[in-house]
Amino acid sequence: MQHRASRRLAVTIVAAAVALSACSSDGSNSSAETTGAALPLPELVTATKPPVPPPEVAQWRAPALSGPQPAWKAPFDDVPLAAGDTLVGVVFPVDTQSDLSIVGVDLSGATRWRVWTNPSCVGYGVTRVNDRPAAVVLASNADNRGDKVATETTANAYDAQDGHRVWGPVRVPGPLQGPGLIFGKVTASVVGGETGPRVMLNTDTGEPVEPPTRDAVPLYEHDGLGLFGKDGTLTAVDTSTGEVLWTSTELHLPPQWPSRARSVELLSSTQASKAGVVALRWSGSDGDGAASAPRTALHDLRTGNLLVALGNETDVRTVVADQGKAAIVAGLNGFTETRAYDLDSGQLDWTINGGGAGLVDITVADGGVGFGTRAGQSVAVQLATGRILEQGDWPAPVAANKGTLLTALPRDPAAEPNDRLAGAGPGFVAYRTR
């Protein structure tokens, strides 16, 4: 089964669209600000719970390169996010508990902390606060039982290892929109949503980041690096200091690229940019004033340097691996090719041409191996060489962290959906790599 690059939002964000309007503040509180005890604040519990043993299943189908049996059952109801040595994920409400929770689970399967919050605030994210992994959790004063829409929404950051609150509550205009620490309000409509006020937060303090120019819109944030856009120009800033790191008008492009009236935007494909690598779409005219073909390239978010030129590509998925030194890009050349690039040199390391066998769509990378899908089967690829290590009908990992692979539990065909939890996932189990 192929997954097109725009289908899943990566980011360091998990959100339920049905809850966004309930967690959005009304127009009277659309600006972000830090503040006092009257603002909504999640409830933190730091008592450790031991790992949950995996359930009894007649025959486990382990992912490639892992042990034959799962090590523990994960408590999450959706795919978690990695934050240091912790997996952070959401647990939906149940009949005996009306709030949802965001939980931090270490790689042994022990739950280290849990943050209870309003069930309308499903969105959460992970970041780094003063160079330590952290989880960002929303809270609001919405009341779904009384159809009360939120008038106050806050963001709060918690240390990923032990759960202590490191900043917040910080007033924000709406849910976590991303990528990164970007919050905003979306007004639902028949044809989609209208974007309202948006704000980017300083990852170290939670303070709102001042746009580099008036009316510049926050587009992308990752671990304290922010990207703003206005009128076809992009500006990157250090969110802790407000320092402008680069603007798109100053970047050097290859000679054959648009040289006049250049305009650039963040590629709209939601999986094209990843971590500190952003996919930008350039357009404009050549020296004679003739329109140039648009070009897409991967750029370093901190420096703006062009890392890899991708040509006229519009729908790709990027996975950053090898501690930020390599990028694996799927969906190239008419959605038939997957390529790996060395980000230090820009050199092409390898290409897998799908041809009749199907696109290799890598979604998770860990320990030098990329996991994904190809023509309806799961696949494991050696990232250094592009060699297919295994392909088959085993469950592809949906998350990975330092040798721990999470896969979905087999769905019980006899299980009936819960009206309150319609759409909830089947649960997850963890394997250790061999």
Q: pLDDT tens digit string along 403-416?
A: 999 999 876 666 55
367: number of Cβ within 10 Å:
12
User: Do 377 and 412 share a domain, yes or no?
Assistant: no
For residue 104, being part of any structural domain is answered with yes
Number of domains into which the chain is organized: 3
For residue 145, being part of any structural domain is answered with yes
User: Do 263 and 304 share a domain, yes or no?
Assistant: yes
Whether residue 425 has pLDDT greater than 60: no
User: Do 97 and 233 share a domain, yes or no?
Assistant: no
For residue 199, being part of any structural domain is answered with yes
Contact 380, 369 (CB under 8 A): yes
362: number of Cβ within 10 Å:
27
Q: Of 253, 282, 315, which residue sits at a domain end?
A: 315
User: Do 46 and 150 share a domain, yes or no?
Assistant: yes
Query: In 10-70, where do the E strands start and end?
Result: 13-14, 33-34, 43-45
Residue carrying structure tokens 């319609």: 422
Mean pLDDT in residue range 18-44: 59
User: Do 374 and 327 share a domain, yes or no?
Assistant: yes
pLDDT in tens, 287-339: 666 777 889 999 999 999 999 999 999 899 999 999 899 999 999 999 999 99
User: Do 265 and 148 share a domain, yes or no?
Assistant: no
Q: Which residues contact 59 (CB under 8 A, 6 or more apart)?
A: none
CA distances (Å), origin 370, targets 12, 25, 309, 327, 385:
18, 40, 22, 11, 11
Q: In which domain, by residue range, is 367 found?
A: 322-402
User: Do 54 and 144 share a domain, yes or no?
Assistant: yes
Contact 409, 426 (CB under 8 A): yes
Contact 337, 358 (CB under 8 A): no
Please tell me the pTM assigned to this model. 0.87
Residue carrying structure tokens 């603002």: 39
Query: In 130-274, where do the E strands start and end?
Result: 132-140, 153-159, 165-171, 182-189, 192-200, 217-222, 225-230, 233-238, 244-247, 260-266
Check which CATH number belongs to the domain holding 269 and give it: 2.40.10
- d(C-alpha 400, C-alpha 323), whole Å: 14
For residue 87, being part of any structural domain is answered with yes
Mean pLDDT in residue range 358-373: 95
pLDDT in tens, 106-124: 999 999 999 999 887 778 9
pLDDT in tens, 174-202: 999 999 999 998 765 545 555 678 999 99
Contact 378, 66 (CB under 8 A): no
> What backbone phi and psi angles, to 5 degrees, belong to 306?
-75, 120
The pair of structure tokens assigned to 73 is: 């059952």
C-alpha distance across the termini of the chain, in Å: 26
The pair of structure tokens assigned to 154 is: 């806050």
Predicted pLDDT of residue 17:
38
DSSP string, 201-231: B-TTT-PBPPPSSTTPEEEEEETTEEEEEET
pLDDT in tens, 372-397: 999 999 999 999 999 999 999 999 99
- d(C-alpha 410, C-alpha 428), whole Å: 9
For residue 215, being part of any structural domain is answered with no
